[in-house]
Chain A
Amino acid sequence: MSSDVRFTDFKSDKQPTWCPGCGDFGTMNGMMKALANTGNDPDNTFIVAGIGCSGKIGTYMHSYALHGVHGRALPVGIGVKSANPDLEVMVSGGDGDGYSIGAGHFVHAARRNMDMTYVVMDNRIYGLTKGQFSPTSREDFETSTSPDGPKQSPVNPLALALAADGTFIAQSFSSDAQRHEEIVQQAVEHDGFGFVNVYSPCVTFNDVDTYDYFRDTIVDVDDEDHDPTDRDAAREKITNDTEYQGVIYQDEDSVPYNERHGLDSNMADIPDGAPEDATDLVREFY
């Protein structure tokens, strides 16, 4: 890790194919800056991307990366971190990837508390398949597959994370570049599962949850003297209807899974034969 890493070192030579104005540009910039600010470089960073518009991030960033199957990015990240805890692992995906097909993994990743970062680009719509409702869409949000609205409650990802004993729960807005970068950076620095739900507007298919909507409504928890270590206060923030940005909950005593389980070696390092005392394993069967 060298201190002269610039965030542009995390940029690949591929130009994003996201729609002009897509929130994902800002989300990705903040991720790159947070990684650079925390002393990481592309060679010690592993990005895992899900499927969807957000999943393309692995191509646009420069680092070690895997773009996997839909909804399973978190388990991949957990595997990477287990095998080599020296790597900086950042998992990224969309609201469909994380809260619909991958919702089970999200809950278990939160309670497992591996030392890694999860950034969800939440645009409340399925963009890549051209405009169907997503798990975070509003109840009355009209789309091709919900002409009268989905008529079901949207998922509250922050509440899911809190219920699963998540140790770092935050939300940001991709357009507020400075705050977004700070919040993701705090997630990276957190000892455990740093989760950031990012409002990342879809300019093509979502005319409700727009830049203007978030600019007008978003409230920074720091402006309300919120204490993120206060779990009850966090619960209140998460369950009222305000669109917040900031670190909403952080368990300062968090001990990540990798530490609790003593994962401190690079599992890639193995001898070129069986382990020296492997014959003991045979003797156990006498």
Chain B
Amino acid sequence: MPDDLNWAIGGEAGDGINSTGKIFAQALSRAGRQVFTSKDFASRIRGGYTAYKVRSSTERVESVVDRLDVLIALTQRTVEENMDELHEGSVIIYDGERTMMEDFEAPEGMIDLAVPLKSLAEDAGGAIMQNIVALGAACEVANFPIDNLDEALEKRFGDKGQSIIDNNQDAARLGEEYVQEEYDEEFSYDIETTDNDYVLLNGDEAIGMGAIAAGCRFYSGYPITPATDVMEYLKGRLERYGGHVMQTEDELSAINMALGAARAGARAMTATSGPGIDLMAETFGLVAQSETPLVICDVMRSGPSTGMPTKQEQGDLNMTLFGGHGEIPRFVVAPTTVSECFHKTIEAFNYAEKYQTPVYLVSDLALAVTEQTFAPEEFDMDAVEIDRGKLVGEDEIDTWLNDSDQFQPHFPAADGISPRTLPGTSGGAHMTTGLEHDELGRRTEEQEVRIEQVDKRNQKVETAKEEEEWDYREFGDPDADTLVLSWGSNEGAMREAIGFLDEADISVRFISVPYLFPRPDLTEEIEAADDAIVVECNATGQFADVIEHDTLTRLKRINKYNGVRFKADELAERITDELDTPQEVPT
């Protein structure tokens, strides 16, 4: 009996697919099971196929797989879309009045359960609860005690009153009882529960929580998929800590407001996706030129232009590494898992203030929409350290004044990092500008000063290279001949792929790189491998390009740009393909 349960609900946008999926994920999490979810959705409010998949296990799960055990199909299209993933013993739950199973060639041994979802929901108090009826039926199929749903339903409907909660709990039981009474099939699922405590959250929420933990107090942003959850998470919560979330008129305003708040001394952030990053590019240069600490989060989606707004892609690496006119010193940090979204956000704020630079925090849609379980200890608030860098208060300001008693915000210190003082500090008044400037922040075109200031700003990156650990995350067999490299959300699928490859007696060393600039030097690792393969969700291999450039070595590439993240089994197969048919390596 498999402990791994792959469950999905699919229907049209507007059918409540997400909230139903989230309720089931929450119920599994509360029952001590590990959960990993993914969403397949379209950029429209109503209509269009949408699905929410939940994979769960008593072991840690890091990816979705091409396999479905239980499918709630609210529409015929849901069945069509998922037919490939169904197998012997899979169960489809559907409303026989809406979906005709006869139209499909089902895999042998697949069990289809027609349940009158709508009419049972009406019995419980309203057709709107048909998804909950289906959830109850799914609990029976999976042999998952239905009591586990109750708490999740309370959490979901808690603000709507007890009678709504009661109705939903009744609806779930009607679904369960219907399957018990009408079907005598043997279902092969008997999922275990444990006493473990888990928290369930997505990457955007983890970024938001990390921001609060790191002392972020000002957030300005303009709604955009898939970054909006960061703002929605922070709204209300940031205010609890004396901060503020400002929804702006556009992304130009968002980054400039955040810049203003940062000049006033707040830890500030904005989050957006590719189109917003394009709009922010000019001010990004100003942030660097004025040496203002700022975190700019890019939750990547498919581009260019409006692209596929609700689809996965890692296409903004070049933009975040190189975007903007002129030469802009910057940091680029990209979390590789949902929990790392929390930790890397905290780091990003420290780098920003310590080095007085903009920091791109690059996440992607797959991380943003994945709800994943973690032990709560993974978000250890006591371990959060805040480094505000060379912040100069009133008592020390005299040390940093020139002979004319002027504060020098761009003083060319040996490590490139100047003293910083905040407005309101007596004796510290100073200006700064996007123009090239002298140590006082005043415009200059003097050649020597220009060179001094450019070198000074670039020196900050050199100092950071020395002072910080720009390491990578490593999995698999460190001595394997095959080296796989990736960045961003691919880490989860690749970690599971290692297991699949192991079964085929293929051992790999996997390096997941969260620091994109500055980044680790991978020369030795690549030299030590027979095959080095770079995995990323884009068409041209932007990460492979920079690593090739760093190491002067050609690398193999596995790219995916159909808008869907890698799945573990798919990735294992593609790696095997690369090994069977090695591509020509130019010398």
Tell me whether A46 and B423 are in contact in the complex, defined as CB-CB below 8 angstroms, given that A68-B286, A72-B252, A274-B382 are known contacts: yes
Q: By the criterion CB–CB under 8 Å, are A79 and B220 in contact? A: yes
Residues of chain B contacted by A270 (CB below 8 angstroms):
215, 217, 267, 386
A58: nearest chain-B partner, CB-CB: B431
Collect the chain B residues with CB atoms within 8 Å of residue A104's CB.
249-250, 253
Residues in B188-222 with C-beta less than 8 Å from chain A: 197-201, 205, 209, 212-215, 217-218, 220
Which of B1-9, B87-95, B239-247, B312-320 sits within the interface? B239-247
Q: Which of A37-55 contact B (CB under 8 A)?
A: 42-48
Q: Are B432 and A67 in contact (CB under 8 A)?
A: yes
Does the CB pair B259–A79 fall under 8 Å?
yes
B370-381 contact mask (Cβ, 8 Å, vs A): 1 or 0: 000000100101
Chain A 53-99 interface residues, beta-carbon cutoff 8 Å to B: 58-59, 62-69, 71-72, 75-84, 86-87
Q: Is B257 an interface residue (CB 8 A)?
A: yes
Q: Which of B214, B258, B265, B384 has the most CB of A within 10 A?
A: B265
A14 pairs with B261, CB closer than 8 A: no
Do A273 and B432 touch (CB < 8 A)? no
B423, A44: Cβ atoms closer than 8 Å: yes
Nearest Cβ in chain B — how far from A199, in angstroms?
A: 26
* B529 at the binding interface (Cβ < 8 Å): no
* A150: min CB distance to chain B, Å: 25
Contacts of B257 on A, CB cut-off 8 Å? 75-76, 78-79, 82
Q: Can you name 21 A-B pairs with beta carbons within 8 Å?
A: A13-B404, A43-B423, A43-B426, A46-B263, A68-B286, A72-B253, A75-B253, A76-B256, A76-B263, A78-B246, A79-B256, A79-B268, A83-B217, A263-B244, A270-B217, A272-B385, A274-B212, A279-B381, A281-B213, A285-B200, A286-B30
A265 at the interface (CB under 8 A from B): yes
Give chain A's interface residues, CB within 8 Å of chain B.
13-14, 42-48, 58-59, 62-69, 71-72, 75-84, 86-87, 104-105, 107-108, 261-263, 265-268, 270-275, 278-279, 281-283, 285-286
- B479 in contact (CB, < 8 A): no
Q: Is the CB of B264 within 8 A of A108?
A: no
Instruction: Evaluate contact between B384 and A43: CB separation under 8 angstroms.
Output: no
State the Cβ distance, B88 to closest chain A Cβ, in Å: 36
Contacts of A58 on B, CB cut-off 8 Å? 431, 433
Interface residue tally for chain B (C-beta within 8 Å): 71
Residue with the greatest number of chain B CB neighbours at <10 A, chosen from A65, A263, A270, A273: A270
Q: A59-B443, A66-B290, A282-B381 are in contact. Are A267 and B264 (CB under 8 A)?
A: yes
The 9 closest A-B pairs by CB, nearest first: A79-B260, A268-B265, A267-B266, A67-B433, A270-B215, A285-B199, A83-B264, A75-B256, A267-B217
Q: Is the CB of B283 within 8 A of A62?
A: no
Determine which residue in A13, A77, A80 has the highest number of CB atoms from chain B within 10 A of its CB, and name it.
Answer: A80
| A83 B268 Cβ-Cβ under 8 A | yes
Q: Within 8 Å CB of B16, what residues of A?
A: none
> Which residues on the B side are within 8 Å of A274 (C-beta)?
212-214, 381-382, 384
Proximity string of chain B (84-113) to chain A, C-beta cutoff 8 Å, 1 when within and 0 when not:
000000000000000000000000000000
Main SS of chain B's interface residues? Answer: mixed
Residue of B nearest to A85 (CB): B264
Q: Interface of B with A (CB < 8 Å)? A: 29-30, 197-201, 205, 209, 212-215, 217-218, 220, 237, 239, 241-244, 246, 248-250, 252-254, 256-268, 282-283, 285-286, 290, 376, 379, 381-382, 384-386, 404, 422-435, 442-443
Cβ contact within 8 Å between B282 and A80: no
- Which residue of the partner chain B has the closest CB to A276? B381
Alpha-carbon separation in the docked complex, A69 to B254 (Å): 13
- B249 cross-chain contacts in A, Cβ below 8 A: 104-105, 107-108
Inter-chain contact A286/B429, CB cutoff 8 Å: no
- The smallest C-beta distance from A129 to any residue of chain B, in angstroms, reads 16
Distance in Å: Cβ of B381 to nearest Cβ of chain A:
4
Inter-chain contacts of B432 with A (CB < 8 A): 65-67
Q: Are B434 and A67 in contact (CB under 8 A)?
A: yes
- A282 contacts B376, CB within 8 Å? yes
* Contact A271–B215 (Cβ < 8 Å): yes
On whether A67 and B435 interact (CB within 8 A), knowing A75-B248, A278-B381, the answer reads yes
Q: Known contacts A43-B428, A69-B285, A79-B220; can you find 6 more A-B pairs with CB under 8 A?
A: A58-B433, A66-B433, A75-B253, A75-B257, A104-B249, A286-B29
- Residue on A with the closest CB to B208? A281
Instruction: State how many angstroms separate the Cβ of A152 from the closest Cβ of chain B.
Output: 23
Within the complex, the shortest CB–CB distance from A33 to chain B, in Å, comes to 18
- Complex interface: chain B residues within 8 A of A47 (CB): 431
Closest to A285 in B: B199
Residues of B within 8 A of A84 (CB): 264-266, 422-424
Contact of A43 with B264 in the complex, beta carbons under 8 Å: no
Q: How far apart sit A176 and B432, CA to CA, in the bound complex (Å)?
A: 31
Q: Is the pair A278, B434 in contact by a Cβ cutoff of 8 Å?
A: no
Contacts A79-B218, A79-B268, A104-B249; is A67 near B385 (CB within 8 Å)? Answer: no
Which residues of chain A are within 8 angstroms of B386 by Cβ–Cβ distance?
270-273
Given A79-B258, A273-B385, decide whether A43 and B427 contact each other with a Cβ distance below 8 A: yes
In the bound complex, residues from chain B placing their C-beta under 8 Å from that of A43 are 423-429
Residues of A within 8 A of B260 (CB): 48, 66, 75-83
Q: A67-B433, A281-B213 are in contact. Are A82 and B424 (CB under 8 A)?
A: no
Nearest CB in chain B to that of A84: its residue: B264
- Determine whether the beta carbon of B244 is less than 8 Å from that of A82: yes
Query: How far is the CB of A275 from the nearest CB of chain B, in Å?
Result: 5
Q: Chain A: which residue is nearest B243 at the CB level? A: A267
Give complex CA distance A183, B242 in Å.
34
Give the residue of B197, B248, B265 whose beta carbon is less than 8 angstroms from that of A286: B197
Question: Per a CB cutoff under 8 Å, which of A14, A64, A105, A275 touches B423?
Answer: A64
**B280 vs chain A, min Cβ distance (A):** 10
Question: Is there contact, CB below 8 Å, between A86 and B259?
Answer: no
B433 touches A69 (CB 8 A): no
Residue of B254, B286, B424 near A87 (CB, 8 A) is B424
Nearest-CB distance from A128 to chain B (Å)? 12
Could you tell me if B215 and A266 are in contact, using CB atoms closer than 8 angstroms? no
Contacting residues, chain B, for A107 (C-beta < 8 A): 249
Shortest A262–chain B CB gap in Å is 8
In whole Å, how far is B25's beta carbon from the nearest beta carbon of chain A?
11
Q: Which residues of A contact B205 (CB under 8 A)?
A: 285
Beta-carbon contact of A281 and B250 below 8 Å: no
A68 touches B259 (CB 8 A): yes
CB <8 Å contact, B261 and A267: yes
Q: How close is B325's CB to chain A, nearest CB, in angstroms?
A: 11
Chain A positions within 8 Å of B267 at CB level = 267, 270
Alpha-carbon distance between A53 and B218 when the two chains are bound, in angstroms: 31
| Contact assessment for B212 and A275 in the assembled complex, using a CB-CB cutoff below 8 Å | yes
Complexed CA–CA distance, A275 and B246 (Å) = 21
B421 to A, closest residue via Cβ = A64
Distance in angstroms between the alpha carbons of A87 and B214 in the assembled complex: 24
Contact yes or no, B431 A79, CB < 8 A: no
